[in-house]
Amino acid sequence: GDSVTQTEGLVTLTEGLPVMLNCTYQTIYSNAFLFWYVHYLNESPWLLLRSSTDNKRTEHQGFHATLHKSSSSFHLQKSSAQLSDSALYYCALSDPGGNYKPTFGKGTSLVVHP
């Protein structure tokens, strides 16, 4: 079945430094979708980025990710971390075999400090 592996645990950064959260995945479907969700405490997880196109950079709210099917990766990046970026980040995968319901990675807690 599908699986998603992402940078686990806690990532701590100083404000202004670049963000890089790793995500790799396994699926038999070539037309799978990859997502990054952001989850703030006591709020709904919301969709930050999505992509199904190989080697195309996707951007939203200063974050970007490029789906690389050759390496099964969808790493999340931002050039300069902000305090408000502190949250849980989940990489997720969906495919037609599972009716496109997301399979989530274990989540990465990003803490940005001054």
Partner 1 sequence: GALVYQYPRRTICKSGTSMRMECQAVGFQATSVAWYRQSPQKTFELIALSTVNSAIKYEQNFTQEKFPISHPNLSFSSMTVLNAYLEDRGLYLCGARHSANSDYTFGSGTRLLVI
Answer yes or no whether residue 59 interacts with partner 1 by CB under 8 A.
no
**Part in contact with partner 1 (CB under 8 A); list of ranges 10-18, 42-50, 58-66, 71-79:** 42-50
Answer yes or no whether residue 67 interacts with partner 1 by CB under 8 A.
no
Give the DSSP letter string of 44-102. Answer: --EEEEEE-STT-EEEETTEEEE-BTTTTB--EEESS--GGG-EEEEEEEE-GGGTT--
Nearer to partner 1, 6 or 85 (CB): 6
**Part in contact with partner 1 (CB under 8 A); list of ranges 15-23, 24-32, 39-47, 70-78:** 39-47
Phi/psi of residue 105, nearest 5 degrees:
-75, 180
Nearer to partner 1, 29 or 104 (CB): 104
**How many chain residues bind partner 1 (CB under 8 A)?**
20
107: CB partners within 8 A, 6+ apart: 6, 8, 39, 88, 89, 90
Binding site for partner 1 (CB under 8 A): 35, 37, 42-47, 50, 90, 98-107
